[in-house]
């Protein structure tokens, strides 16, 4: 009892600090994006905006094909023959073994997830379980790809944008005109919009998971006590209160309220969760 209370208190305290820091960093980066745009002028600012818009468009258009390709990647060729993923789960005091062979990336993750769901006696037909696991693995790969794309665009994209401007594009504009950085507010808002999109690519792979878990927990909490049971395996009050305090800490944070809570649709999905459901 005391263990869960102490864990909940310390966990929510660290979470609150972390969420405040994350919110401050995001706002700070957005402000810096706006301010940096003021020094660029509309010509260079518009060039950068269009350049990064094309990169982001390419990134999202290739998410599904690349995730499908990665999913079929054979992992067994990079590990010793006979290597398996093995660990035990504690389900209501009973140790349940998970033992999965290493095949393709999707196949390996899917087999592990399927065995975990079966260990918790999830009530699904074999067809529904297979469809759910396939969708879950695909979404997981897409989230990872979006984060990797954000890193590539912010680092390599920025370098390529800079080089192409100085090697090629700036020579189409007279030198005297380049020196006059006019319409600075235009470039400031373009830089702000571009920074917001790239920041979203860094942040939403994590927030979409947090928002989806929060939505699921809040929906279950509105039902009666049977929703806190899983085929007879009762969730203890201590665990429930711990999870509830974590979810409430996230829902009450500035990060959640300012960037996500306002965007909930009629099903309670925030824009990031709805977006990844769509692209997944």
pLDDT digits (tens, 9 = 90+) for 104-118: 888 888 888 888 877
Q: How far apart are CA 13 and CA 7, in angstroms?
A: 10
Instruction: Tell me what pLDDT residue 70 has.
Output: 87
Q: What is the DSSP string of 31-94?
A: HHHHHHHHTTHHHHHHHHHHHHHHHHHHHHHTHHHHHHHHHT-B-GGGS-TT-EEEEEEEETTE
Tell me what the pLDDT averaged over the chain comes to. 82
Provide the 10 A C-beta neighbour count for residue 45.
25
Token pair recorded at residue 208: 């979409």
pLDDT in tens, 170-193: 777 767 766 667 788 999 999 999
pLDDT in tens, 10-58: 878 888 999 999 999 999 999 999 999 988 888 888 999 999 999 999 9
Q: How far apart are CA 9 and CA 137, in angstroms?
A: 33
Residue 223 has pLDDT above 70, yes or no: no
φ/ψ of 83, rounded to 5, equals -65, 135
Instruction: Tell me what pLDDT residue 115 has.
Output: 83
Residue 156 has pLDDT above 70, yes or no: yes
Distances (CA, A) of 197 to 99, 150, 156, 192, 204: 40, 9, 16, 9, 10
Instruction: Tell me what pLDDT residue 197 has.
Output: 95
3-state secondary structure of 224: coil
Average pLDDT over residues 57-69: 91
Q: Which residue has the tokens 């099903």?
A: 267
Instruction: Tell me what pLDDT residue 32 has.
Output: 96
Q: Find the radius of gyration of the CA atoms of the chain.
A: 24
């Amino acid at each position: 009892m005391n263990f869960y209370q102490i864990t909940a208190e310390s966990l929510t305290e660290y979470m609150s600090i972390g969420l405040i820091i994350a919110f401050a960093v995001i706002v700070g980066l957005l402000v810096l994006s706006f301010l940096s745009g003021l020094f660029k002028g509309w010509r260079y600012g518009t060039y950068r905006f269009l350049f990064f818009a094309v990169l982001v468009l390419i990134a999202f258009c290739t998410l599904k094909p690349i995730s499908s390709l990665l999913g079929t990647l054979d992992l067994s060729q990079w590990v010793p023959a006979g290597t398996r993923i093995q660990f035990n789960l504690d389900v209501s005091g009973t140790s349940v073994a998970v033992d999965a062979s290493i095949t393709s990336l999707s196949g390996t993750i899917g087999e592990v997830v399927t065995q975990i769901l079966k260990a918790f006696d999830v009530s699904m037909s074999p067809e529904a379980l297979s469809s759910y696991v396939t969708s879950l693995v695909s979404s997981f790969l897409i989230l990872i790809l979006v984060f990797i794309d954000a890193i590539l665009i912010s680092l390599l994209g920025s370098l390529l944008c800079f080089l192409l401007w100085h090697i090629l594009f700036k020579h189409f504009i007279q030198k005297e005109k380049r020196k006059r950085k006019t319409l600075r507010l235009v470039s400031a808002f373009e830089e702000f919009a571009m920074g917001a999109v790239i920041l979203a690519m860094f942040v939403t792979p994590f927030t979409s998971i947090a928002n989806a878990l929060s939505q699921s927990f809040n929906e279950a909490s509105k039902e009666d006590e049977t929703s806190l049971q899983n085929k007879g395996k009762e969730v203890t009050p201590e665990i429930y209160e711990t999870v509830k305090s974590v979810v409430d800490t996230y829902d009450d944070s500035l990060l959640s309220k300012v960037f996500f809570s306002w965007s909930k649709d009629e099903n309670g999905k925030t824009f990031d969760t709805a977006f990844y459901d769509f692209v997944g």
